[in-house]
Structure 1
Amino acid sequence: MLITVRSLTKAYGAIVVLHDVSFVLNASDRIGVVGPNGVGKSTLLRILIGQEEPESGKVSLAPDVEVGYQPQQASDHLQGGGTSIQDLLLQATGNLRQLEERMHELEMAMAMADADHIDPLLNEYSHVSGRFQDLGGYEIDYRIEQIMSGLHINALPRERNVEILSGGERARVGLAALLLRSPDVLLLDEPTNHLDFASMEWLESYLTNYRGALLMVSHDRQFLNRAVNQIFEINENDRSLHSYTGNYDAYVQTQANARAKWEVDYERQQEEMQELRKRIKDAERNVGHANRTAPRDNDKFVRYFLAQGKQNAVSSIVRTAEVRLERIEANPIPKPPELIRVKSQFTTEPLRSQEVITLINVSKQFGEKKLFQDITHTIRPEARILLTGPNGAGKTTLFKIIMGQEQPDSGQVQLASGVRIGYLSQEAETIDPDKTVLEAYRHQQVGFEGEFIGRLLGYGLFRLEDMQKKVRSLSHGQKRKLEIACLMAQHPNVLLLDEPTNYISLDVLEAFEEAILQFPGPVIAISHDRWFIQRYGGELWTLDQGQLSINTERASGYLHSTWQDVD
């Protein structure tokens, strides 16, 4: 047992996010943590590493256990301060470097020692070299190259400062440093958010063969299916933790079966309680009727005898029914909580033009790096486009050029009359952290407060008690839900979606995906979520090494063939 958690409870003010959570983490465990946004998944990881304290309960680590943690946002964990990539790698392998230096010192000492002093040096050397070997010291240079290549950051100059890296690069460098440490326990919070297809596939394989334990929060259904053998679900209603054996698909099926049985058992018990109450009521009515009815022979003794016999029989029936009813009412099957139905839905006017967006010889570069050149294409109303390519290829920049937020170096973008572009960024860049949820949602809209509250509640993304929460207090997933709500409120007729499934909990994903599929206008999506891509389909646009290639083959078919090759 590497980590033992007993009766953990955590609250922020009056809001309980974790309640009576208990579990044991063993060396062979590969666990995925799921649950709606805001239920305390990231909080649980921070408590495990000691960044936050629980209200009650205890976290116990086995002796000498090393725990490594990667947060959702690299900026939450990696502070630059002049630190270079090489510095981070050396820090990650610090123990190995120290052991290696000590081995060299001992080798020199043994070469000069006489026979009387050699034994203690040999004993220490045996211990240090054994530890060095166990930690993979003889393979460290190979491991650095393997991990950096696997995460597609081996081309980054090692002397580059962490502060000037992009968010995606910083996340991958931080993950590389963590993997190099090879801690006994890996705690990962949304590790796939900034990875491209090749990096995700490499990480899946790496984690499958990892010698330590893994506990990770993830919304990536394909990743969960391939990388974990157990699911922890944090329940939204009671904030308790429930464990399920198997991967994500097995969890969904088990949960569905359990929910169906719960509903059947509850209805059956409700029917039994209703029948018992009716039996008691009918029996009492029959006793009263018997007492009022006299026998024909007018024999008082017979009348009394018959009445007593009937009354005793009825009393027995009543008592039996009452005892059964009392037992049920003392420990009833609770009513299954009503499932929150997320109603993501876009309402917009259809486009009249058949040429919605026209790109004419669009080119862009930063310094010596050419992102793309001479892109010429027309986007039509029914378009479904998946924009893919390596990190840093310029996908987000192309979006910003289409929206007019950045200017191309050459070429032009023409938008049809009446185009209203709805943009979902990778991060919650446009939301004022000092506004409340309600204020952020109603920004630049006209109407009464009650109308906006009604719409937010109608989406199923927030509860009434969330309306006055400050944006800065929301989890990354809750901010993402607020962005989706604001996006729907704009009534766009064109969607540009940059990693739309990032940070969204699994309960929201399917409803949002369905809304995208039903959207009446053109949609261009940047995504590395393989499950989403399989549903989305569409044309495949690949941006790589300055060139945009367009494949009319459905993106899902392309990805399927790619996964087959990898497997």
Structure 2
Amino acid sequence: MIAINNLTFEIGARALYDEANWHIKPGEKIGLIGANGTGKTTLLKIIVGDYKPTSGTISKAKDLAMGYLNQDLLSYASDKSILHVAMEAFERQNQLHTEIESLLQKLETDYSEDLLHKLSDRQSEFEALDGYNIEYKAHEILAGLGFSEEDTHRKLSTFSGGWRMRVMLAKILLQAPDILLLDEPTNHLDLPSIQWLEDYLKAFDGAVVIVSHDRWFLDKVINRTVESRKGKLTVYAGNYSFYLEEKQLRGEIQKGEFKNQQAKIKQEEKLIERFRAKASKAKMAQSRIKMLDKMERIEDVDDDNPSVNFSFRFSKQSGRHVVVMEHVNKSYPTIEILNDAEAVIEKGDKIALIGANGRGKSTVLRMVAGADNQFEGKVETGYNVTQTFFAQHQLESLHLESEILQELQSFAPRHTDTELRSILGSFLFTGDDVFKKIKVLSGGEKSRVALAKALTADANFLILDEPTNHLDIQSVNILIQALQQYEGTFIVVSHDRYFLDNVANKIWFIEDHKIKVYPGNYAEYDVWQAKRKLEPKAAVPAPQPKKEEKKPEPVKQQQHGDDKSKQLKKLNQDLSKMEEKIAELEAAVKQLENKLAEDGVYNNPAKSKEVNASYQQKKNELNLIQQNWEALAGQILELEA
């Protein structure tokens, strides 16, 4: 499909890629990963032809149709409706529709056979291209990406940058190209839209290459991982979690080989040193020197996962209740956010506030932070609570002329320079990086500085609004470690589910204009929500008309007890059968995962596609039966109560 051979791409004196190789096969779902600055976005631009390689070749299949989503599309402007913009994807169908309309007008006065033939030809082609369903398809994809029916008639120019990017994504998906190249597609999506996109991409027949910092999203969608590192491209035959395990295994092997080679080199150097001075052994010494020079050196394994090596301190502990919300009503002219809502944040809570955009997540955060007082009801901060509020707009409050270290010194004077440099090192600012001026930093680097500031504040309560925006996977991992070590209380809004699952112990979500609470992590909440959606309405008992209360007869009570006992026995038997099936499917999934990594399968597109289809089928079966097990276990617990 696409073959990259010996690709070299230089920027000034630096080689971003150095004789890199990579073959993209039909139907592959690939995650292109790597630290910031390793050239992931550049590589996508090289593939589509925006950049020319210094040397090497990019070979593509004939008539290959590519769809490319990139952040440059944010600048696209139009006063046409978003439905019209999305439907621009159907270029030929739109052209035929215009021609058909014109021919129908002409036929009102001209009944010639030539016109009738033309009309028939155009209508046949329009039908063959499924032209009568293009508007339905556009509505379907726009709805999946979070647009309401009313939104589809609004002008593109009236939407914010993030929503305009969704329209561009819809347009690219509607083109149904042979390969999709998606650069950070989840950046401007809320959780429901990300989940919809996951399902869409899994079902997409073509190939997909995704650059993303969203580990959960990658794990759900991809079946190949390609790492861009040190100018090379390394392929791993699995999703992101598989990549992590495989890379660790390869690293351990490489580290062992490196140690063995270093020991051999030292031994050879000792022999050379010993024999060099003796005339009778000089030839042997020279031979060994040449052998060492020709030896292909194995590199030591770099640590790509820096750890947070500082602890967060605050000078005073908060009281038990950090924030109390009572009878809160909040609305805007066109939307109601909260109606008589209540919630409590207690000391030690690590809360993830989640939901679709427009439900009021950021509004609730501002109310909790005291930045929004336009509401009815009470939002009170508890005893001894000291807070800091991180939001993306606070990047603008960084002092552009300050150096990074200066910015932290002025904000957190109680910390020593050594402590501040340690904190900045954890956020990937090492050595002389700390002397860079804020004005030369990228968006992601500014985010890291602002987060470092937030975490050095003398605060026992953190309020974080989308802290993972603009961060790569490595930086997200650092933030996770930092928040896991933090002993205070926090509430965070984020669409990064891996991040949320690793930091939160409680989930808040807004439903029916109320703040509802799930007491667990994100993965548990996700399973619970999936079960809620699967539960048939018939399982909820319908309201019964009131009857005159009668004391049940003893015999009937006994009968009811017998029925309950029989039902429990049957349910437990079904549960055991399910557990056997789960074990069987888990073994099958593991076997197919191993098979996918075999060279004979990986290098054979047809075999790879066949095995991957079986893998996805078994995985889907496993997910479904696990959800059914959860539901059945819940029924048993209710009966036993």
1:437·1:466 contact (CA, 8 Å) conserved in 2?
no
Whose helix fraction is larger, Structure 1's or Structure 2's?
A: 2
What SS does structure 1 have at the residue aligned with 2:151? coil
**1:261 is aligned to 2:253:** yes
State which of 360, 369, 378 in structure 1 corresponds to 2:344: 378
> Which residue of 2 is the match for residue 361 of structure 1?
327
Equivalent positions of 1:443-454 (< 5 A) are: 444-446=411-413, 454=421
> Which residue of 1 is the match for residue 43 of structure 2?
44
Cα distance in 1, alignment partners of residues 468 and 415 from structure 2: 31
> Which residue of 1 is the match for residue 231 of structure 2?
239
What SS does structure 1 have at the residue aligned with 2:98? helix
**1:515 is aligned to 2:482:** yes
**1:492 is aligned to 2:456:** no
Rate the CA distance shift 1:331–1:487 in 2: closer, same or farther, 3 A: farther
Highest RCO, 1 vs 2 (Cα 8 Å, sep ≥ 6): 1
What SS does structure 1 have at the residue aligned with 2:351? strand
Cα distance in 1, alignment partners of residues 435 and 46 from structure 2: 26
What SS does structure 2 have at the residue aligned with 1:356? strand
Percent identity among equivalent residues? Answer: 27
Paired letter, 1:252: L
> Which residue of 1 is the match for residue 223 of structure 2?
229
> Which residue of 2 is the match for residue 504 of structure 1?
471
1:495·1:522 contact (CA, 8 Å) conserved in 2?
yes
Rate the CA distance shift 1:53–1:406 in 2: closer, same or farther, 3 A: farther
1:345·1:488 contact (CA, 8 Å) conserved in 2?
no
State which of 248, 262, 268 in structure 2 corresponds to 1:276: 268
Deviates more, 1:249-258 or 1:191-200: 191-200
> Which residue of 1 is the match for residue 291 of structure 2?
327
Cα distance in 1, alignment partners of residues 83 and 7 from structure 2: 41
Deviates more, 1:100-109 or 1:178-187: 100-109
Instruction: Deviation per CA, 1:517-544: give whole Å up to 9, x if none.
Output: 2211112122333323333342221113
What SS does structure 1 have at the residue aligned with 2:88? helix
Equivalent positions of 1:129-528 (< 5 A) are: 129-130=124-125, 133-134=128-129, 136-235=130-229, 238-281=230-273, 315=281, 323-324=287-288, 326-340=290-304, 341-343=306-308, 345=310, 347-349=312-314, 350-416=316-382, 418-425=384-391, 429-432=395-398, 434-435=400-401, 438=404, 440-442=407-409, 444-446=411-413, 454-455=421-422, 457-464=424-431, 466-467=433-434, 469=436, 471=438, 474-528=441-495
Structure 1: runs of 5 or more not aligned: 288-310
Deviates more, 1:465-474 or 1:324-333: 465-474
Deviates more, 1:420-429 or 1:443-452: 443-452
> Which residue of 2 is the match for residue 31 of structure 1?
30
Paired letter, 1:323: S
Instruction: Deviation per CA, 1:182-204: give whole Å up to 9, x if none.
Output: 23332212212333333223212
Q: CA deviation at 1:437?
A: 5.7
Cα distance in 2, alignment partners of residues 370 and 50 from structure 1: 47
1:420·1:492 contact (CA, 8 Å) conserved in 2?
yes
Paired letter, 1:353: G
Provide the TM-score with structure 1 as the length reference.
0.81
Structure 2: runs of 5 or more not aligned: 535-622, 625-641
2:6·2:56 contact (CA, 8 Å) conserved in 1?
yes
**1:531 is aligned to 2:523:** no
Q: CA deviation at 1:263?
A: 0.9
Provide the TM-score with structure 2 as the length reference.
0.72
Q: CA deviation at 1:167?
A: 4.8
Equivalent residues, number:
529
Equivalent positions of 1:96-111 (< 5 A) are: 96-102=93-99
Rate the CA distance shift 1:171–1:153 in 2: closer, same or farther, 3 A: same
Q: Which has the larger radius of gyration?
A: 1
Cα distance in 2, alignment partners of residues 324 and 187 from structure 1: 50
Instruction: Deviation per CA, 1:200-255: give whole Å up to 9, x if none.
Output: 232122112223321111112222122122222111xx233222222112221221
2:33·2:227 contact (CA, 8 Å) conserved in 1?
yes
Rate the CA distance shift 1:320–1:205 in 2: closer, same or farther, 3 A: farther
Rate the CA distance shift 1:440–1:102 in 2: closer, same or farther, 3 A: farther
Cα distance in 1, alignment partners of residues 4 and 126 from structure 2: 26
> Which residue of 2 is the match for residue 305 of structure 1?
none
Paired letter, 1:7: L
Rate the CA distance shift 1:282–1:16 in 2: closer, same or farther, 3 A: closer
Q: CA deviation at 1:364?
A: 1.9
Rate the CA distance shift 1:394–1:220 in 2: closer, same or farther, 3 A: same
Q: CA deviation at 1:484?
A: 2.3
Cα distance in 2, alignment partners of residues 101 and 239 from structure 1: 49
2:443·2:470 contact (CA, 8 Å) conserved in 1?
yes
